[in-house]
């Protein structure tokens, strides 16, 4: 296995030098025009991307931009892309295509594309050739270069569509970058970057580089400051959080145990865990913890051992079920969620049947289901593919099976009182508020503005597969 680095934060002085230059350029504009230049950040994909976008927005603000809610108001647009499935890439490209019109109205508009898609050679070429108004790309491991790259495109009035360096892919991180958090009570904290697992269907290790962990003291400081600032739920992020600190004297369970000692009324959660590395030690720390949310996202991907092997997952169903059994032994009320891919190359009807059986055996509270999408450059893309109609049919059957299980699992919550972190008015009905339980289940209830960002007690009177309804007590 590749050596894992505990990252040494790189010198901030170079970044700050470019921050100062862009800032001066923006201040000059404000003095002449009487208004500030705007920046709009659009995010696709996972929580890691959301966390990265908060850093991009933080750096843009530091450079004197005003963060805007629409692309039309912006002088700088940053599109943070996802490459996990074909659909995500197509969606980002289609939106970038629409920016052509905004650029036609504002020839000084700078458009930066960042995120996983920019690590794909053919996509960068496509951006270069078919989207001439895209000014620059910025890889996920190069966020700290944002001010420098921006300054270069401003000064030299040229396009910079380039691949990331090996150095950035393996060693560095935007430690110390300002973060403009979207929420005042839920926060993401990245603890490690990259992935070494190379599951045969997955593009992530090619896009986000090798596993690198942040220093323990930097994470502890960040989480402590967030709790002190009133954040109520803090989610530790990593493609494979259980690999945190591998090869050092602090593993992920140690980190979680240390964070749990931070006093306050707050919840700690984390994602994502790989079943091959989800340790009993971590489960014990959770069971004995004070602030650790009793929820575990443990992607199973398939319920069949041959498919798991072809996926290069390094566990079998016996191991998976053993981990789940231990979690429930230590924490009977734990909420367990998972990811499943249907239609992996070569998956037979019988093998898919094993996945359905596994759902019945485990009984997940929630499931994120995906139709396999071939990713160019991964081993599975070269294997014999399952026809689209078969994939679609399996997907529907998977959802039907899971919906029945989730509905049954939520039923006993009727009449109980749960602690909910309130998110505010629900979409479409301002009288109904929504929030999430410790396990991450969505709850609707009659609320008031003062509840937003606070824990409230809700007595549940109705449940369905995807949501709970109740009244604040
Ligand atoms: N096709 C479909 N789903 C995928 N995932 C990862 N790669 C692919 C792919 N090529 C799913 C996995 C992973 C989740 C984040 O996305 O289930 O756990
Ligand atoms: Fe992709 Fe597997 Fe790494 Fe998760 S663990 S990011 S599925 S390669």
Q: What is the CA radius of gyration of the chain?
A: 23
459-462 long-range contacts (CB < 8 A, ≥24 apart) are 459/415, 459/416, 459/417, 460/413, 460/414, 460/415, 460/416, 460/417, 460/418, 461/414, 461/415, 462/414
Q: Is the CB of 195 under 6 A from ligand 2?
A: yes
Separation of alpha carbons 440 and 131, rounded Å: 40
Q: Which helix (H) or strand (E) holds 443?
A: strand 442-446
Q: How many CA atoms lie within 13 A of 464 on its CB side?
A: 6
How far, in Å, from the CA of 201 to the mean position of ligand 2? 9
Q: What is the pLDDT of residues 232-264, one digit of tens each?
A: 999 999 999 999 998 788 999 999 999 999 999
Q: What is the mean pLDDT of residues 387-410?
A: 98
DSSP 8-state symbol, 465: S
Instruction: Name, in order, each residue with C-beta under 8 angstroms of 175's C-beta and a sequence gap of 6 or more.
Output: 7, 9, 10, 144, 214, 218
Q: Is the CB of 368 under 6 A from ligand 2?
A: no
Burial class (CB in 10 A: 0-12, 13-18, 19+), 155: exposed
Q: Rounded to two decimals, what is the model's pTM?
A: 0.94
Q: What is the mean pLDDT of residues 161-180?
A: 80
Index of the ligand 2 atom closest to the CA of residue 195: 3
Index of the ligand 2 atom closest to the CA of residue 339: 7
Ranges of beta strands (E only) in 51-196 are 66-67, 76-81, 110-115, 136-138, 186-190, 192-193
How far, in Å, from the CA of 320 to the mean position of ligand 2? 16
Lowest mean pLDDT among 30-39, 279-288, 422-431: 422-431
Strands 417-426 and 366-371: unpaired
Lowest mean pLDDT among 209-223, 342-356, 406-420: 209-223
Taking all residues of the chain, what is their mean pLDDT, rounded to a whole number?
Answer: 94
* Residue 312: pLDDT over 70: yes
* Residue 3: pLDDT over 60: no
Residue 6 — pLDDT band, cuts 50, 70, 90?
A: low
Q: What is the pLDDT of residues 36-94, one digit of tens each?
A: 999 999 999 999 999 999 999 999 999 999 999 999 999 999 999 999 999 999 999 99
Does 356 or 178 have the greater pLDDT score?
356
Q: Is the CB of 398 under 6 A from ligand 2?
A: no
CA dihedral 143, 77, 57, 441 (to 10 degrees): -100
Sheet holding 192-193, edge to edge: 5-6, 212-213, 192-193
pLDDT at 371: 98
Separation of alpha carbons 117 and 207, rounded Å: 7
Q: How many CA atoms lie within 13 A of 53 on its CB side?
A: 25
Return the SS3 of 352: helix
Q: What is the mean pLDDT of residues 263-272?
A: 97
Determine the residue of 242, 274, 278, 311 to mutate for testing ligand 2's pocket, defined as the one with the most ligand atoms within 8 A of the Cβ atom. 274
pLDDT at 60: 98
* Residue 8: pLDDT over 70: no
Tokens of 135: 């000014």
Separation of alpha carbons 99 and 72, rounded Å: 9
User: From atom 6 of ligand 1, which residue's Cα is the shortest distance away?
Assistant: 202
pLDDT at 2: 39
Q: What is the mean pLDDT of residues 149-155?
A: 96
pLDDT at 1: 36
User: From atom 5 of ligand 2, which residue's Cα is the shortest distance away?
Assistant: 197
- Residue 301 to residues 76, 243, 371: CA-CA distances in angstroms? 39, 19, 11
Q: Is the CB of 341 under 6 A from ligand 1?
A: yes
* Residue 167: pLDDT over 80: no
Lowest mean pLDDT among 5-14, 284-293, 306-315, 410-419: 5-14
How far, in Å, from the CA of 91 to the mean position of ligand 2? 22
Q: What is the mean pLDDT of residues 6-35?
A: 86
Q: How many CA atoms lie within 13 A of 449 on its CB side?
A: 0
DSSP 8-state symbol, 368: E
Q: Is the CB of 201 under 6 A from ligand 1?
A: yes
Considering the chain, what percentage of its residues have pLDDT values greater than 90?
Answer: 89
Q: Which helix (H) or strand (E) holds 370?
A: strand 366-371
Lowest mean pLDDT among 156-170, 268-282, 435-449: 156-170
Determine the residue of 46, 140, 192, 202 to mutate for testing ligand 2's pocket, defined as the one with the most ligand atoms within 8 A of the Cβ atom. 202
* Residue 174: pLDDT over 80: no
Residue 428 — pLDDT band, cuts 50, 70, 90?
A: confident
């Amino acid at each position: 296995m590749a050596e894992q680095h505990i990252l040494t934060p790189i010198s901030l002085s170079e970044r700050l030098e470019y921050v100062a230059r862009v800032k001066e350029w923006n201040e000059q504009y404000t003095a002449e025009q009487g208004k500030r230049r705007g920046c709009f950040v659009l995010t696709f994909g996972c929580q890691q991307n959301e966390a990265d976008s908060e850093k991009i927005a933080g750096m843009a603000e530091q450079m004197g931009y005003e963060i805007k809610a629409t692309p039309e108001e912006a002088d700088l647009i940053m599109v943070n892309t996802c490459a996990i499935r074909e659909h995500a890439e197509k969606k980002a490209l289609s939106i970038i295509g629409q920016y052509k019109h905004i650029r036609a109205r504002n020839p000084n508009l700078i458009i930066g594309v960042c995120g996983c898609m920019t690590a794909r050679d053919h996509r960068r070429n496509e951006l270069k050739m078919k989207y001439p108004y895209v000014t620059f790309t910025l890889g996920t491991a190069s966020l700290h270069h944002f001010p420098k790259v921006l300054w270069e495109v401003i000064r030299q009035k040229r396009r910079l569509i380039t691949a990331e360096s090996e150095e950035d892919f393996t060693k560095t991180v935007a430690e110390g970058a300002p973060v403009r958090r979207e929420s005042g009570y839920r926060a993401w904290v990245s603890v490690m970057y990259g992935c070494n697992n190379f599951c045969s269907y997955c593009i992530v290790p090619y896009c986000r580089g090798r596993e690198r962990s942040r220093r323990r003291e930097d994470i502890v400081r960040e989480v402590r400051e967030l709790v002190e600032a009133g954040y109520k739920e803090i989610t530790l992020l990593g493609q494979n959080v259980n690999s945190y600190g591998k090869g050092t004297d602090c593993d992920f369970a140690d980190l979680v145990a240390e964070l749990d000692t931070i006093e306050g009324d707050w919840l700690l959660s984390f994602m994502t865990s790989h079943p091959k590395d989800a340790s009993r030690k971590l489960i014990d720390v959770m069971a004995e913890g004070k602030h650790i949310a009793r929820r575990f996202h443990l992607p199973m991907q398939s319920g069949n051992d041959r498919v798991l092997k072809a996926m290069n997952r390094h566990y079998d169903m016996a191991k998976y079920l053993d981990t789940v059994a231990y979690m429930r032994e230590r924490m009977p009320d734990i909420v367990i969620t998972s990811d499943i891919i249907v239609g992996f190359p070569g998956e037979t009807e019988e093998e898919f049947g094993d996945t359905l059986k596994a759902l019945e055996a485990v009984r997940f509270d929630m499931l994120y289901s995906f139709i396999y999408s071939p990713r160019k450059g991964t081993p599975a893309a070269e294997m014999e593919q399952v026809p689209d109609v078969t994939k679609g049919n399996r997907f529907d059957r998977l959802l039907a099976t899971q919906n029945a299980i989730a509905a049954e699992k939520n039923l006993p919550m009727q009449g109980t009182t749960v602690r909910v972190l309130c998110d505010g008015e629900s979409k479409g009905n301002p009288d109904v508020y929504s929030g999430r339980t410790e396990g991450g289940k969505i709850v609707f209830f009659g609320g008031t503005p003062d509840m937003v960002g606070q824990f409230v007690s809700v007595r549940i009177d109705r449940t369905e597969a995807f949501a709970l309804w109740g009244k604040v007590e």
